[in-house]
Chain A
Amino acid sequence: MGELTGSVGSRIGLHEAEDLVVRLREHDEQAFSEVFQLYKDLVYTLSVKLLSDKTEALDITQEVFLTLFRKIHHFRGDCTLKTWLYRVTLNQAANRNRWWRRRFLNQTESLSVKPKEEGHFVPDPASDQPWPDRAVYAAEIHKALQAALDELPFDQRAAVVLRDVQGLSYEEIAEILDAEIGTVKSRIARGRERLKDRLKPYREGAAL
């Protein structure tokens, strides 16, 4: 994963990026296409992890690149294009998050609190239920992790995802979230601790 980020970083050097921004400002379609190919997965992954809803994530990806098309003249160049895209994605996701929570708080809570009723597999060595095979279990862990992420406060979730999924450095995260590095660190720490506590049964099940 770190290697993937590195490859994106090395493929687009600094002056190359500046050149790209200049071309974007001139509404060069080829430049937009390049940016889209470069960052589509980053943006999509971030939105999926933040919202745990693939439809919403697709919508946000579209909004982000539309924003890139329309608002590229607002991009002052005081951060990298990647950081700017991350920021736009975060803002969009935060807005969706608010919107969604406000309207469907009851529904989302009731579904995520009782995973058993939803058909989730909850590992319990004491019971004699059949143990799923490795791939299914990995998918279950993935689902549970996403549900646990969804329960974190938005700022902690954003910090954890930027660090552990996107593999950004503390400085980059601080720049994106517009926060102090200490704040970012404590958000990451608290988020991870909560995820750890939440997924304890799954980890023990994986070790079996």
Chain B
Amino acid sequence: MTCKETRNRIHDYLDGELAANQATVLEEHLGECNDCREAWEGLNWIKQSLAVREHLPVAAQEHIWTQVKVKAGYGWPTFLYEQWDTFRTFWRDLDRQILYSKLSAVPVTVGFFVMILMQFPLVPFQDWTYPAFEMRRMPSSVFAEPLMTEVEARHTYADIDEIWSAAWKIPYEDSLSLVAQITPAGHAEIDHVLEYPKNQNLLAAVDDSLRSTQFQSAQDIRNPLVIYSFQKIDVYSDHPDL
């Protein structure tokens, strides 16, 4: 048995919890190794020195017994004493109580930050920059009367899909807003431009797209004024106009 093993088991040996064969091996080692015997003697001395019982003094016994009997009887004094004791215990353990309240503050704080984070939309960026086709209101200000509210945009969702496929071809990251009118032939023309794009080619490209697109529901549209707004259109580098 090595010294390390001996030191690991020396406390079990001291407490008589070691199996007999292991104890024999350990005793052999103690016979050979001075350091380990020294350690064992020290620990054994500590163990022997600790084994001293205290005795409750007789006077204290009587006092305690009387006190316990007095305090154990229930009545107003006991009730008041208990209230005081509860308060005293609370005050004594205040650090623990404060710890608990700190711990309970954690979910509250987390919830607070979650609520802040929930203010931001969780949709992907691409969806967030999706161009708005139909702009019935312009909520730039609460007080300013929206410019476009009277204009009814009467078109179907099929038209929106077509416009979208035309707009997707627009090559610049840019924006424009315009009012287009659908002609009896089923195409569309730019009536007037509300917001010019930075790139002039973009306007021309949109114009081309509108002229060449065949709108399926042209016959159904009685008031063929359509507002189109393309915002932050992504770069489409393969486009021939680039």
Contacts and interface: CB of A to CB of B under 8 A. Distances in A.
Interface of A: 1, 4, 29, 32-33, 36, 40-41, 44-45, 48-49, 57-58, 61-62, 65-66, 69-70, 95, 98-99, 102, 141-142, 145, 160-161, 163-165, 167, 170, 185, 188-189, 192-193, 195-196, 199-200, 203, 206
A48 B12 CA distance: 26
Contacts of A142: 49, 52
Interface secondary structure of B, over-half rule: helix
Interface secondary structure of A, over-half rule: helix
26 contacts: A1-B53, A32-B68, A36-B68, A40-B64, A44-B54, A44-B55, A58-B56, A58-B60, A66-B67, A66-B72, A70-B72, A95-B89, A98-B92, A98-B95, A145-B49, A145-B50, A161-B50, A163-B15, A164-B46, A170-B15, A193-B43, A196-B39, A196-B43, A199-B46, A199-B49, A206-B45
A196 B71 CA distance: 43
Contacts of B51: 1, 164-165, 167
Contacts of A145: 46, 49-50
Contacts of A200: 42
B56 A41 contact: yes
B46 A196 contact: yes
Given A62-B68, A66-B71, A99-B92, A203 B45 contact: yes
A95 B85 CA distance: 13
Contacts, number: 98
B67 to A, nearest CB: 6
Interface residues of B, number: 32
A69 B68 contact: yes
B65 A36 contact: yes
B195 interface: no
A142 B72 CA distance: 36
A61 B55 CA distance: 12
Given A40-B61, A58-B60, A48 B52 contact: no
Contacts of B43: 192-193, 196
A61 to B, nearest CB: 6
A105 to B, nearest CB: 13
A108 to B, nearest CB: 17
Interface string B219-240: 0000000000000000000000
B11 A189 contact: yes
A66 B70 CA distance: 10
Contacts of A203: 41-42, 45
A69 B72 contact: yes
A189 B42 CA distance: 13
Q: Which of A33, A58, A164 has the most CB of B within 10 A?
A: A164
B67 A41 contact: no
A65 B54 contact: no
Contacts of A163: 15
A167 B50 CA distance: 10
B47 interface: yes
A192 B68 CA distance: 36
A41 B47 contact: no
